[in-house]
Amino acid sequence: MSGEITQLLRAVSAGDNDAVSQLFEIVYEDLRARARAQLAGSASHTLGATALVHEAYLKLTAGEAPEWNDRAHFYGVAATAMRHISIDHARARQAQRRGGNAGKVNIDIAQIPVDDAAESLLALDAALDALEKRNERLAKLVELRFFAGLSVEESATALAMSPRTVKRDWRTARAFIHAQMPG
């Protein structure tokens, strides 16, 4: 399947609109599973996995033909899109509530119920922005592990590094983010 995805990514980059549809048919369930893992844990969240994937699809395919280098690059871009959509949704929910205290979030658990933890998700986003200014690779790793739900091995492939380096960087990134979180 990975070879088929790579071929479709090349076709998409060449401007083949049919390839975009075929690509998302193949990766749809995988993206939904990753979105479900991210959103798990809350009965009250209004942003569901299906909606998150559909919004990510729209964001990824808007405008000119996207240029995804390979499968890992595609999942990285999808992770970033899902992060932005989740953050935008959390901001909207927080605005509806008229504020609130941002609390600590444990990024070891790849689950943040968006409605119940909008403040925590926004605090995580701010910490991730600060991390990105210091070290883009660590920030990308957090996006891949947290927002896309990639494993250590999948993240290593996406970032072209060893699993051992990913584990070390993951510890560093988590420590930085925890230090940046309020409370």
pLDDT at position 109 is: 42
pLDDT at position 165 is: 97
User: 33: which 2 tokens?
Assistant: 């599973």
pTM of the complete model beyond 0.85: no
For 67, other C-beta atoms within 10 Å of its C-beta total: 12
Q: What are the average pLDDT values for consecutive 10-residue runs of the chain, which has 183 residues? A: 84 87 90 80 64 88 79 85 85 66 50 55 87 94 85 90 96 92 76
Q: Could you write out the DSSP letters of every residue in 4-19?
A: HHHHHHHHHHTT-HHH
In sequence order, which residues have a C-beta less than 8 Å from that of residue 174 and are 6 or more positions away? 107, 108
pLDDT at position 103 is: 53
pLDDT at position 156 is: 92
pLDDT at position 60 is: 85
Residue ranges per domain, the chain? 2-180
- The answer to whether 169 and 138 have CB atoms below 8 angstroms apart is yes
User: 31: which 2 tokens?
Assistant: 């993206």
